[in-house]
Structure 1
Amino acid sequence: MDTHIYTADDLDAAAKDIVEGKLVSFPTETVYGLGADATNEDAVKKVYAAKGRPSDNPLIVHVDSEEMVEEYAMPLSDEAKSLIKTFWPGPLTIIFNLKDNVLSKTVTGGLDTAAFRNPNNDLTLSLIKKAGVPIVGPSANTSGKPSPTIAMHVYHDLKGKIAGILDDGECQFGVESTVLDMSTDQPAILRPGAISAEQIQEVIHKPVLDERVHVADAQVPKAPGMKYKHYAPSAQVYIVDSPKDFEEAAKWAAEQDDKVGVMATDAVLNNLHFSNNVESFSLGSDVLSASHSLFAGLRHFDNESDVKSILAQGFSNDGIGEAYMNRLNKSAGQKHFNK
């Protein structure tokens, strides 16, 4: 199968692929998604096959409006409507209870709920509108690998497996959306992202729980990223907890026989002398730029380098740092550099 690179001028062709049950990767403000008609079970099954994704891992359903959500979800609460008005389009995914028999269990992982998102990308919103159907959209990468933030990341993983990639340049945020469960009386964040619990609480005027837990093998996760290892390059990632620990980390790297990758802010990289077996990747100036560049850095070392280990800078869990550390811990398998 040829994989076409589509631009805005090719929107009709990309929408035609979706309607015909083919797979098209699409851009969002977070990462690139792998799109298929959410109402076509055979098309959705192709998403799992292309990614090598476990079929009990539910898929996020991308919509172009609140009205499209209402076609599938049970009546929305006033709180849910306020969240939609405040944060959509944007990096907030909301889990709702579904009407009976409106979406295949292949989409929901067998659950009676589904996660909906209205992405802040004009090209993708136009794609959904032209196709006339909601579009499932897990990250457009091989399952478990770092998420794609440019079209070429998608092409590297999925060329020959999907019909096309709608290219709209680099993604704005670089980490996936916040996932908020509104299917129960107590709202809960299942995956942190750019929208914080504090921002959500200001809108709905009630506490938001943090329900990020590891899901056992026999359980079905309610949201993506809760059960399986995610975001991991081939090299082992080690989290360096603070900038002052990089001095010891640099010494450790110099002692390694194999090449070592280092992902850190410019302040760290400029203040240390690394040995010749170290390749560096800048995370910019702060945690915001680091969140934007995290997946790009992991993919750089996975696709374009031969490092065997990666030292990555950690940040505090405040604000966007919570989302950054959530993804970094998953990519590292919770492993930290020990002096």
Structure 2
Amino acid sequence: MLKDEVAKALKVLQNGGIILYPTDTIWGIGCDATNADAVKKIYTLKQRDETKSMIVLVDNDSKLQTYITEVPDIAYDLIEFNENPLTLVMPGARNIAANLIAADGSVGIRVARHQFCEQLIQRLRKPIVSTSANISGQASPKNFNAVSADIINGVDYVVDLEQHDLSEKKPSTIMRLEPDGRFEFIRK
């Protein structure tokens, strides 16, 4: 089943579509993070201002250098030792769609620790977008049952995994990390 769902989602992403999928945090809307047209579809669906950037997921920390110009050494320790999912906002974003990069040149990036996400990213060989599955300004859904019909009907594919899991999930911790190692929490 996992393999089948990865294959179905992969096909949608390769064709520039957007998916609704489970992550190591809350349900997310995603696409190929290198496809600006697909990214634009997510902004449109979420009714979100394009100046509000979205998170990018990679499958392991060795990929950070591909998408961030200068990854501080401390980033690897933070990822390895953090007990909760951690999104790092770092400057020097590169090799992703321009409409994912914030005005200051930064992007939020997280190493996904979720079997579906990891396999999908590995098969796609590119990072994927992960943004909460809600219309901008509305509450983030804590499980699949809380995802609105507007979102479900607005994506190209809904991943058929974990939809019956009613446990309440939390968004990731978000930390801004500068090349010199200075950091600040944006969301705990």
| Residue 29 (structure 1) aligned with residue 18 (structure 2) | no
The higher relative CO (CA closer than 8 Å, separation ≥ 6) is in 2
Aligned residue among 132, 143, 154 for 1:150 = 143
Q: Confirm or deny: 8 A CA contact 1:30 1:171 kept in the other structure.
A: no
- Find the aligned partners of 2:11 and 2:146 in 1 and give their Cα distance: 23
Which of 1 and 2 has greater Rg? Answer: 1
Instruction: Supply the RMSD in Å over aligned alpha carbons.
Output: 2.0
Q: Confirm or deny: 8 A CA contact 2:91 2:104 kept in the other structure.
A: no
C-alpha distance after superposition, 1:32-66 (max 9, x if no partner): 11001110001100000011111110110011011
- Find the aligned partners of 2:35 and 2:42 in 1 and give their Cα distance: 11
Q: CA offset at residue 127 of structure 1? A: 1.4
Q: Confirm or deny: 8 A CA contact 1:29 1:173 kept in the other structure.
A: no
Q: CA offset at residue 172 of structure 1? A: 5.6
Paired residues in the alignment total: 184
Instruction: Provide TM-score, normalisation by structure 2.
Output: 0.88
Higher alpha-carbon deviation: 143-152 or 20-29:
143-152
Aligned residue among 56, 59, 65 for 1:64 = 59
Indicate how the Cα distance of structure 1 residues 87 and 173 shifts in structure 2: closer, same or farther if over 3 A, else same: farther
| Residue 187 (structure 1) aligned with residue 180 (structure 2) | no
Where does structure 2 lack aligned partners over 5 or more consecutive residues?
none
Q: CA offset at residue 125 of structure 1? A: 1.4
- Find the aligned partners of 1:81 and 1:172 in 2 and give their Cα distance: 29
- Find the aligned partners of 2:144 and 2:166 in 1 and give their Cα distance: 9
Identity of aligned residues (%): 28
| Residue 108 (structure 1) aligned with residue 101 (structure 2) | yes
Q: Confirm or deny: 8 A CA contact 2:47 2:135 kept in the other structure.
A: yes
Name the amino acid aligned to 1:91: P
- Find the aligned partners of 1:113 and 1:22 in 2 and give their Cα distance: 24
Q: Confirm or deny: 8 A CA contact 1:29 1:172 kept in the other structure.
A: no
Q: CA offset at residue 141 of structure 1? A: 1.2
| Residue 53 (structure 1) aligned with residue 48 (structure 2) | yes
Aligned positions of 1:128-147 closer than 5 A: 128-147=121-140
Aligned positions of 1:1-339 closer than 5 A: 8=2, 9-87=4-82, 90-98=84-92, 101-154=94-147, 156-166=149-159, 167-169=161-163, 170=165, 174-183=169-178, 185=180, 186-192=182-188
Indicate how the Cα distance of structure 1 residues 171 and 127 shifts in structure 2: closer, same or farther if over 3 A, else same: farther
- Find the aligned partners of 1:165 and 1:111 in 2 and give their Cα distance: 33
Q: Secondary structure at the match of 2:38?
A: helix
Q: Confirm or deny: 8 A CA contact 2:71 2:179 kept in the other structure.
A: no
Q: Confirm or deny: 8 A CA contact 2:143 2:168 kept in the other structure.
A: no
Q: CA offset at residue 10 of structure 1? A: 2.3
C-alpha distance after superposition, 1:269-289 (max 9, x if no partner): xxxxxxxxxxxxxxxxxxxxx
Q: CA offset at residue 171 of structure 1? A: 7.0
- Find the aligned partners of 2:114 and 2:150 in 1 and give their Cα distance: 22
Name the amino acid aligned to 1:191: R
Q: CA offset at residue 155 of structure 1? A: 5.5
Q: Confirm or deny: 8 A CA contact 1:151 1:165 kept in the other structure.
A: no
